[in-house]
């Protein structure tokens, strides 16, 4: 069973009809859009709770529109179409892995706190608007943008360059670095702000590799988002 899983994780795929530079360009667009969107919304809505989340949502939307347009002639290669993977099982698997990774995080850092993306909610008025924004961000905007770019565009390119395992690890490493740069105001404990996102990215890209489906990876991402929101409720 283990050997079969390893074979699925490293099973070859057709080379994507785009190069690594194009994939990295899409990633750069996402990063810049998130930063600019946040700066603009914080400037305009500084006193409004959830302004940072709104900025990230705007930035994610810009990045999705750009990527969908830039790769319009190769959309089938993004692997967002129907899949034979059992999406509900993948959702439950992601929730379980989120719990495991969170326990590891707690054991190493000794701190029980939300993911960096939701820390601003802790200091806000916790109004219904803030909560709705947090839900939309964690379950729709972030999964759509990050999975389209990290697993739809970037992962196939990295796999062609570094091979099966190398592509998986490179994708997870870039995902961890991206979260550290894009969502973390203060680095704090690097296990929480870098290593934990890296592990999450490794699980999600593992789903993408084993199912050959970016849609399945998106569902896994939603599972991690659900856990993050439940943890935010628990932290209070």
Cα 193 versus chain centre, distance: 13
Q: What pTM, to 2 d.p., does this model score?
A: 0.94
SS3 at position 213: coil
**Closest residue by Cα to residue 147 from 191, 200, 73:** 200
**pLDDT tens per residue, range 92-138:** 999 999 999 999 999 999 988 899 999 888 777 778 888 999 999 99
The answer to whether 205 and 75 are in contact (CB under 8 A) is: no
Domain boundaries, the chain: 13-235
The answer to whether 105 and 192 are in contact (CB under 8 A) is: yes
pLDDT value, residue 75:
92
Question: Mean pLDDT, the chain, as a whole number?
Answer: 92
pLDDT value, residue 126:
76
Q: Taking the CA atoms of the chain, what radius of gyration do you get in angstroms?
A: 17
Tokens of 67: 């990527």
Q: For tokens 């899949």, name the residue.
A: 83
Helix, strand, coil fractions of the chain, as percent rounded to 5:
80, 0, 20
pLDDT more than 90, % of the chain = 76
**pLDDT at residue 139 above 80?**
yes
């Amino acid at each position: 069973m283990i050997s079969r899983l390893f074979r699925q994780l490293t099973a070859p795929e057709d080379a994507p009809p785009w190069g690594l530079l194009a994939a990295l360009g899409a990633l750069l667009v996402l990063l810049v859009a998130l930063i600019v969107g946040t700066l603009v919304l914080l400037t305009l809505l500084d006193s409004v709770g959830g302004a940072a989340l709104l900025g990230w949502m705007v930035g994610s939307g810009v990045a999705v529109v750009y990527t969908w347009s830039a790769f319009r002639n190769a959309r089938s290669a993004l692997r967002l179409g129907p899949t034979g993977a059992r999406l509900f099982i993948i959702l439950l698997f992601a929730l379980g892995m989120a719990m495991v990774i969170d326990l590891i995080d707690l054991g190493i850092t000794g701190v029980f706190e939300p993911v960096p993306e939701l820390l601003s909610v802790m200091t806000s008025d916790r109004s219904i608007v803030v909560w709705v924004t947090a839900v939309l961000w964690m379950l729709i905007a972030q999964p759509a943008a990050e999975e389209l770019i990290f697993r739809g565009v970037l992962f196939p390119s990295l796999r062609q360059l570094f091979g099966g395992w190398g592509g998986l690890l490179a994708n997870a490493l870039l995902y961890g670095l991206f979260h550290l740069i894009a969502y973390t105001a203060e680095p704090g404990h690097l296990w929480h702000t870098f290593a934990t996102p890296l592990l999450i990215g490794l699980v999600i890209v593992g789903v993408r590799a084993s199912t050959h489906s970016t849609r399945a990876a998106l569902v896994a991402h939603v599972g991690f988002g659900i856990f993050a929101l439940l943890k935010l409720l628990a932290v209070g």
